[in-house]
Structure 1
Amino acid sequence: MAEKQSIILFPFMAQGHIIPFLALALNLEQKSKNYNITIINTPHNIQKLKTSLPPNSSINLLTIPFISSDHNLPPNTENTDTVPYNLVIKLIQASLSLKPSFKYIIQNILTQQPNHKLCIISDIFFGWTSTVAKELGVFHVVFSGASGYGLACYYSLWMNLPHRFTDSDEFPLSDFPEARLIQRNQLPNNISQADGFDDWSIFQRKNNLCDWVNSDGIIFNSVSDFDSVGLNYFTRKFNIPVWSIGPVVLSTGSRGKVGGINPKVCKEWLDTKPSNSVLFVCFGSMNTISATQMMQLGTALEKSGKNFIWVVRPPIGFDINSEFKYEEWLPLGFMEKIVETKRGIIVNDWAPQVEILSHGSVSAFLSHCGWNSVLESLSHGVPILGWPMAAEQFFNCKLLEEEMGVCVEVARGKSCEVKYEDIVEKIELVMGESSESGVKIRENACKIKDMIRNAVKDGEEDGVKGSSVRGIDEFLSAAGKSNKTTLNDRE
């Protein structure tokens, strides 16, 4: 009988992190029944995860204690989805308090399952877990839901803060020259404002990124065929294995979301539209734009003449979970016109993204370039209109546009000036039937779709496994062969 292996997954408390971790857990569960899989998280996130697991799943959910009010956060604040941006750093800082409880949990698992191999898969924000694993002699990997390229830029910027040493509006990354020049307005606000002594810098440089070197490897929710430059950065940086295993994505049924629009209603509307005629607009689970930008985007959608589905949330400065005020935040008469023409659907808060992107009537995706959304789009050959807003999204957009040729950047950030005429022009460039650039972009997106399909081939037909299937096999083999992951080994 094969040796039982316990796998612990520990995502950061944000939907954009939890979703790929859940997808990975379900993927591992399908690989073998010999894995005892556990997801650890705080109480409210565990409750949400319970509604996302299939009824026949054997994945365990384990609560780690956390009281947000102990850290000057509002009560029951356990996910970035429920806090304003200025409090996100407080939640991240508070996550450091999980270390003693996490260590206690791992020690208990080692004691209760002394003959099991144990592997910890932790979030990119939980670098400190690698030191716990090292202390306890446990195999540890970091799992990134971001692209290798995007995270390489992000890591290099935080560790070196190159923008502090130049007045230029563009500059190279000394340890990642493959990225060529980074523009100052591509920097997320927290990096742009960082001086090395601010809260974000202290967390990233002293409590997180510096600890990755203690890990036994890094796994990426990406595909090596189009992300090798970024993946290779981490191989040479840490001299540890780097495995690409993507895309690992969730079906709508496993996301645990309610509200928004019924998937059936959405499909019925899409069924009435011609092939490649619909623009899908969505900025992820925790992003929104300014009221001025929203007005310009609404005008652009109206003027473009394209069919569209637009997922809206209240603009910056308003409670993102409050009711959307259509008459206040959208152009005058906008709702009446789209109802009359049946040319668009406005969805409050949530839409079945995978189902929409997989529908034949969808031509392009106006996105914040979060990597989950990028993979879902490109898996269906849908090109992207990029509007990055935070974190490594700016560098994902750079990869998509400059290296892969599947994206056109529409705007940059939540405070940039946006003109509806420019948005209309970019929409036409990507979606227009007579646009040579659009034809090329759509062709490139289809090529990436084929790369993704080949990466996840299981080898049953021709005996040749795809790169991502080989990646996850190699990772599991390394974890299984590790001689430091059972209690008996250490005794």
Structure 2
Amino acid sequence: MGNPQAHVVLFPFPAQGHNSPFLSLATRLHHYRPDLTIALVSTPRHINSIRSSLPSDSRLHFHSLPFCPVDHGLPAGVESTSDLSDAQFITLFKATESLYQAFDDFISSLVSNALDSAPLCIVSDFFLGWTVAVARKHKAFHTTFLTMSAFGGAVLFSLRLNQPHRLTEKDQFPLPEYPEVIIDRSQVAQNILASDGTDEGSQFFKRQLMFLDNTNAVLVNTVEEFEQLGVGMLRKTLKFPIWPIGPPLAHAGQLSSSKSDEETEIMTFLDSQPPASVLYISFGSQNTIQSGQMMQLAQGLEGSGCAFIWVIRPPIGFDPKGEFKEEWLPHGFKHRIKQKHIGLLVHGWASQLKILSHVSIGAFLSHCGWNSILESMFYGVPIAAWPIGAEQFYNSMMVVESGVGIELARGVMDNSVPGKEKVKEVVDLVMGPNAKGMEIRKRAKKCRDVMNKAWNEEGGSSMKSLLEFFKLINI
């Protein structure tokens, strides 16, 4: 069962979308190596947030690193991206580099208290690449955990390093390392398009890539059979082991049994609908769209007549945690969908896994965050893609090219507003009894089978990757 003194330290970047993969990894590690001591390290408020989301019998240890947000130009009490605008992200990215000394002290204490032969492995987020220097100092094994898709990561690495979009005026261009991959300018996030390589964002990303060169291995939150191209791209350019260990959940039994009043309302609505008849709409834990886009989306949904659950928050330019105003939707929209029992608006947070696992869900209109893609594929739910930023554009590319979805819109600029007719067309296609929709649903079900087989203990690809990881770090 491995060395009883073995210690694994997990260090996720403080962002909602990064917590789930790291917690899932901790669950996997404990399941297959119950004797491991696993500690999760982060800033105090982020630690408290994660701890409060776990069951009382969790065996995960926690260690807080001292952090004062105002010392770095951040609002008081803000220690994760959930309370920041996109423009402030780079401030938090740079601020995390100040955690070096406190993390070094923590690892030093573990080494001092451990037996000489006790393995120590640090698993850090890609955006905390400086942890590799601490690992080298204390002769610990270092693994980088890529919480994004393999394809999305490979494309972002190339864009940041080479800036191929600045070398041509054409709208489409190949990636230098991967000439078979053609990127459209509309698939490059605005912050990357605006960068010249000397800006803070570019410099931070390049530092992470420099640190990545010194890691021992990379874990990727994906399934090899689902991302053969992306995993192959990473293996072509990164000269150390690449281990896909997705998807992010092992079974529906991981879903919490507790229910809030709002969750009860959601489940009641879903229970009242026919199988595969409801469109689930969510733009993730931090994203939203413009008010004009919101209006067109609502009109298109109503025009389609399709039942839907929409996790909705105020549009861009307004307090994302503020009160939602009905003026952002068509006049009388909320009353009509409630009266006809065809729609439900959810403000704030909803249990996405519970929704996607429900038999009445037929498709997912998603911003294509990687956690959302994997969760959707785990349950065989096809996707109507509306990528907004970062690597979401490349996740959308995969969705379309693998035939498990269709792209509705791209980005949140004024010129990317999908008209209500386009919304109706895509919803009808992905939900309706047409040839293309049926093929999309068929392919999504095949992906569900791939996801489920990945952790088969007798040859599943992710299971094999985890065992190879154990072997290399000697646990």
TM beyond 0.5 = yes
Q: CA deviation at 1:252?
A: 9.4
- Is 1:169 matched up with 2:181? no
Alpha carbons 2:255, 2:353 under 8 Å: kept: no
Q: Secondary structure at the match of 1:168?
A: coil
Equivalent positions of 1:253-268 (< 5 A) are 262-268=262-268
Deviation at residue 18 of structure 1 after TM alignment: 1.3
2:472 partner amino acid: A
The amino acid that maps onto 1:131 is A
CA distance in 1: counterparts of 2:238 and 2:346, whole angstroms:
44
Q: Distance in 1 between matches of 2:333 and 2:165?
A: 42
Residue-by-residue CA offset, 1:123-146 (whole Å, 9 max, x unaligned)? 011111112212221101111111
1:61 and 1:89 map into 2 onto residues whose CA distance is 26
The one-letter amino acid of 1:472's match is: L
Give yes or no for contact 1:279–1:364 (8 Å, CA) kept in 2. Answer: yes
Structure 1 gaps of 5+ residues are 459-463, 482-491
Distance change in 2, residues 1:17/1:397 (3 Å): same
Shift of residue 389, structure 1, vs aligned partner: 0.8
How far does residue 253 in structure 1 lie from its aligned partner after superposition?
Answer: 9.8
Paired residue secondary structure (1:288): coil
Whether the aligned pair in 2 keeps the contact of 1:259 and 1:349 (CA below 8 Å) is no
Query: How far apart are the structure 1 equivalents of 2:284 and 2:183?
Result: 24
Partner of 2:411: 413
CA distance in 1, matches of 2:254, 2:104: 29
Separation in structure 2 between the aligned mates of residue 457 and residue 335 of structure 1, nearest angstrom: 45
Work out the CA distance in 2 between the residues paired with 1:324 and 1:111: 53
> What's 1:484 paired with?
none
Q: State the distance in 2 between where 1:255 and 1:94 align.
A: 34
Partner of 1:192 in structure 2?
193
Superposed, 1:76-475 pairs within 5 Å as: 76-115=77-116, 116-179=118-181, 181-205=182-206, 207-249=207-249, 262-325=262-325, 327-402=326-401, 404-415=402-413, 416-433=416-433, 435-458=434-457, 464-475=458-469
2:471 aligned to which of 469, 477, 481? 477
How far residue 82 of structure 1 moved from its aligned partner, in angstroms, is: 0.4
1:46 counterpart SS class:
helix
Query: Cα deviations across residues 328-382 of structure 1 (Å, max 9, x unaligned)?
Result: 2111110110111011100001111111111111100000111111111111110
1:370–1:255 distance in 2 versus 1, CA, 3 Å: farther
Aligned mates of 1:389, 1:119 — CA distance in 2: 35
Q: Percent of pairs identical after alignment? A: 41
Q: TM-score, normalised by structure 2?
A: 0.96
Unaligned 5+ residue runs, structure 2? Answer: none
Contact 1:52 1:254 survives alignment (8 Å): no
Secondary structure of 1:197 counterpart: coil
Alpha-carbon distance in 2 for matches of 1:444, 1:252: 21
- Give the conservation status (yes or no) of the 8 Å contact 1:260–1:349: no
Q: Quick one: which amino acid aligns to residue 426 of structure 2?
A: K
The one-letter code sitting in structure 2 at the alignment partner of 1:397 is: S
- What secondary structure, in the 3-state scheme, does the structure 2 residue paired with 1:310 have? strand
One-letter code of the match for 1:408? I
The verdict on how the C-alpha distance between 1:182 and 1:261 changes in structure 2, with shifts beyond 3 A counting, is farther
Aligned-partner SS, 1:309: strand
Shift of residue 211, structure 1, vs aligned partner: 1.1
Residue by residue over 1:20-47, the C-alpha shift from the partner in whole angstroms, topping out at 9 and shown as x without a partner, is: 1111112211112211000001011111
- Paired positions, count: 471
Q: Deviations over 1:404-455 (max 9, x none)?
A: 111101111121222111111111111111x211111111101111111111
Distance 1:358-1:2 versus aligned 2 partners, 3 A rule: closer
Inter-partner Cα distance in structure 2 for 1:169 and 1:44: 43
Indicate conservation of the 8 Å contact 1:37/1:59, yes or no.
Answer: yes
